[in-house]
Amino acid sequence: MYRIVIMYIIFILSLCFSQIKVGDDAPTFFVRDLNEKKFFLSDTLELHKPIVLSFFATWCAPCKIEMPILDTLSREYSDVHFYLINVSGLTQGSAKLKEDPIKVQNLITKLGISLPVLMDKYGKIAEKYEVKSLPRLVVIDPEGKLYYIHDGYKKGDETKLKDILTEFANVKE
């Protein structure tokens, strides 16, 4: 009985301390993009450039507003690597929401997005980045540390992202 109580306490403590937070090393992952090309975040981290990850789904209305804005920012901040991560397997109520790559491609085409789209088919990357709501925006600094994490999107949120990206650009100069 004593051993079970100790194991339970350790488990609870590990949950408390396992949350990702600003300043942590960015969790790495391997995934395929929308065209089935392999993508390793670790390769991009080795370039020592800022990275913006935006987790989205085709059914997410705020995501559809944020994605074109990120696409525009990617042209303004060409030194920053931007990636959209399509999340499948999120649970809503008792249903697991699966994303169809054809629907994803249709949405990207409809919105005129040119950003790379990574396919998180099983929701494993979303788990690593503790995605609970969409969109989830994550900025990784040139040293591979989590610099900014933001859930949801409302008009004007891009101002904070611009400030962060401008800060990175000024440090580089």
End-to-end C-alpha distance for the chain, whole angstroms:
61
Walk me through the domains of the chain, giving residue ranges and CATH numbers: 2-172 (3.40.30.10)
Please report, for residues 2, 4, 35, 54, 165, the alpha-carbon distance to residue 14 in angstroms, rounded to integers and kept in the order given. 18, 15, 37, 27, 33
Per the CB < 8 A criterion, the answer to whether 84 and 73 are in contact is no
Torsion of CA 81, 19, 42, 99, to 10 degrees: -70
Per the CB < 8 A criterion, the answer to whether 90 and 57 are in contact is yes
pLDDT digits (tens, 9 = 90+) for 31-82: 999 999 999 999 999 999 999 999 999 999 999 999 999 999 999 999 999 9
pLDDT digits (tens, 9 = 90+) for 3-12: 554 444 544 4
Per the CB < 8 A criterion, the answer to whether 27 and 128 are in contact is yes
Q: Comparing 10-14, 40-44, 112-116, 126-130, which segment has the lowest mean pLDDT? A: 10-14
